[in-house]
Structure formats: C-alpha cells, structure tokens
Copies of this chain bind each other. A is one copy, B any other.
Amino acid sequence: MSAPDEFEQIARLFRPLTRGAAEAFDLLDDAAAIPSRPGFDLVVTKDALVAGVHFQPDDPPDIVARKLLRSNLSDLAAKGAEPYGYFLMTAWPAGFGWKQRQEFARGLDEDGLAFDVILLGGDTVSTPGPLMVSMTLLGWVPSGTMIRRGGAKAGDLLLVSGPIGDGWLDWGPGWGQLDRRWLPDAHRLPNPRLDLREALRAHASAAADVSDGLVADAGHIALASGLGLRLDLERMPLSKPARAWLATQDDQVAALLSLATGGDDYEIVCTAPADHPELIGLTVIGEMVEGEGIEVRVGDQVIDPGQGGWTHK
C-alpha cells in the first residue's frame, strides 16, 4: 500500500492522538489554544532524540516514540508536575516509510493512554539526515510549586530514587559489557517516576531526573543552587545485575564511576532538609555543602570524577 498524502498522514497518524481535545482543533489548524488554568503554572520541557546519537538506528519505531515521551515525562516528574499534553516534531528520512510511521504513532498512542497525555500540535518535515524527533511536553503544577534545580540549601541531604547505572550497562559506553538478559529493558523504556510527584512537591528542595548521569545531574542541582556537593558512590543503589557486573570488575572505583556517569537512568535525584525524612524509599547518597564543585567519594577515598557525565549527548 502506498503512503497517503501529507494531510491524510497527519489525519490518520496523529489526529487520533489528540483524543478529540478541543484545544488541538483536530490538527486542522497550525496552532493550539490552551486555556489558562488559574492557580496553576504550566511547566514546559523539551527533549530531542536523534538516531545514532540517542537511540540505535534499528530500534523499533514504537520504542523510539515511547522513549521520547517517557524521557520527557521523566523531566516533568522531577518538576513535580502533572502531565498534560505535548507538541511533536518529526523529521522523517526518505527511507522511513508509512508502516514505520504507523508504528511510531502506535507507540505514542499506547503510552499517551498509559500516562494520560494528549497530542496538542506539531510539525512534520522530511530530512536528508537520520530520523529525528523532538517533543515539547506540558504539565501543570499549583502556582509557584514547580521543584527547581536551584532550590537546594547547604546541609540538605542528596537522595536518589532507585538503581543507577542500568541505562549505561544496557547501552552506550557499556554496550556489550553485559549479557543483556540480566537487565530489565532500562534504556529502551524509561519508567518516569511520576509516582513521586506529590512526595517531591511536599518535601524536596530541588530535583532533576537522572538522564545525563548521576554525577552530572546532581552537579546541575549544585550549580543551579550555587552550592557544592559531596557524593559517595558506595551508597548508590544498584540493581542485582549491576551488582553482579560490578563484582566481575577489577577496578571497582572506575566501575562505580562508569555507573554513576553513564546516564539514561530516569530515576530522580533530589535534595531535602535533613530533618525531613519523609522521602521514603529514596536513598541518601550525599549532602549539599557551601562552596562549589563536586566531591566524589568511594567510602573514605576521594576520587576524580573527570569530565564524566558533564556533557550532554
């Protein structure tokens, strides 16, 4: 079957993803109109994925779509925001046919329903380059309650919501170092920690999702807060497969640092006052201090984190 024309493609691929929302005008307009919601702020985050940079060129299109939505949802989770809707940019390469586009849309449909977010608008272009997709995701928080990276205070504890390093082991620099059957599908389908929204809004002084790597994302909090931080990699929670992998490594410090700087974990790193132990289930891994910079330890040993995890992909 040959591909329908551009208008028909938008109608068939993307219109169902609006689920009839009035603000999307059935995607027949070139803009959406979002009514103000008095008492709330609109939280907006944007993430782009490029084939060969952020995902494997042969990853199934529905998985790419779901990774795009979930990595953006992970940002919203860290901000304490309730997901609302998204704008989508797709740049299709010549070889990315109708069937693949349908699979891409199916992935968005599936996770759009699972996470209760709707498509609000976007733009579709063709490209001589690789597949590239970008999303602007919107969410709501009660006015003035967005959890910022910049809200940490000296003396706050540094906490993390779950295992670190599986993303790296599953892909990227860690690719091939591990029998993939050991791991959950960590890289391909991040699990945005939207379950933590209320607890974070109630207790966290600052938060970020762990996408660039734990050291980098904790560092973003320190930088934005005008503080330094101390971080002990021995306190970092690890999955069973990551612990098994770690046990096989000769250089424990280098191995821990790889896990802590690899990224794509999609857990939450946050700070909270030491007298607020309410962030139950989170693991204390360090503390915020006056000054600047990151002191990374493995137990008693101070190590050099190098540039690891500081650069965005």
Contacts and interface: CB of A to CB of B under 8 A. Distances in A.
A313 interface: yes
Interface string A284-313: 000000000000000000000001001111
Interface stretch (A38-46, A178-186, A191-199, A232-240): A38-46
A127 B125 contact: no
Contacts of A46: 87, 89, 121-123, 136
A35 B36 CA distance: 9
A52 to B, nearest CB: 6
Nearest to A10: B312
A203 interface: no
Contacts of A44: 31-34, 87, 120-121
A65 interface: no
Given A44-B121, A123-B46, A223-B28, A134 B76 contact: no
A220 B26 CA distance: 13
A106 interface: no
Contact of A149 (B29, B37, B41, B89): B29
Interface string A70-107: 00000110110100000101010000000000000000
Interface string A209-225: 10000000000100110
B224 A29 contact: yes
Nearest to A225: B28
Given A35-B143, A127-B53, A130-B129, A48 B91 contact: yes
